[in-house]
Amino acid sequence: MEKTALDIQITTLPDSPGVYQYYDKEDKLLYVGEAKNLKKRVASYFSKTQDNGRTRVLVKKIRTIKHIVVFSETDALLLENNLIKKYQPRYNVMLKDDKSYPWICIKNERFPRVFPTRRMIKDGSEYFGPYTSMKTVHTLLDLIKGLYPLRTCNYDLSEEKIESGKFKACLEFHLGNCIA
């Protein structure tokens, strides 16, 4: 039996973590996926009978496979998420919504606040991440707050409010955990 171009693409994939992309005959991106072993994961689509009708239709449309090798499975998850958000492939339904990975934000304010967020706003604030779990973010925030007396409250500490004396000091300030 003669190997097709698709068979050759699959057999030459590396046994590494990464992201794979399926394209149709018009070179339109159909699907983005991640794997800790690209060769095994991609081959699994073609070597077994698919129970899911949607997956069967997807496999029939695939003409080209592209891949990106990354250092770890975590890197693959993050890259997959970013590519799905950017290109919105038809067959990726799980990550198309507005839910995204968490970040740590340090606000660009007179007394910077530090907090977790899933939304990046271009307002000059610093963002660190993304992280694969909110638990990791909270652990890091606890560490940061233990090392540095940074602000965590949402009080308006603008220059005008402070000069006019119309501001509140939060509990963290009274406990000596905030320098605002």
Q: How many CB atoms lie within 10 A of CB 131?
A: 19
pLDDT band at residue 176, thresholds of 50, 70 and 90? Answer: low
Is the residue at 92 inside a domain?
A: no
Domain hosting 124: range is 103-174
Letter for the amino acid at 105?
A: C
CA distance 115 to 130: 13
User: In this structure, what is the dihedral angle of CA atoms 74, 80, 83, 88, given to the nearest 10 degrees?
Assistant: -150
The mean pLDDT value for 6-26 works out to: 95
pTM of the predicted model, to two decimals?
0.61
**pLDDT at 133 exceeding the cut of 90:** no
Mean pLDDT of the chain: 83
Is the residue at 22 inside a domain?
A: yes
**Same structural domain for residues 125 and 162?**
yes
Is the residue at 94 inside a domain?
A: no
- Sorted by sequence, the CB contacts under 8 Å of residue 73 that are 6+ apart come out as 17, 34, 36
Is the residue at 120 inside a domain?
A: yes
pLDDT tens-place string over residues 78-121: 999 889 888 989 888 754 555 678 889 998 887 788 899 988 88
The mean pLDDT value for 153-163 works out to: 62
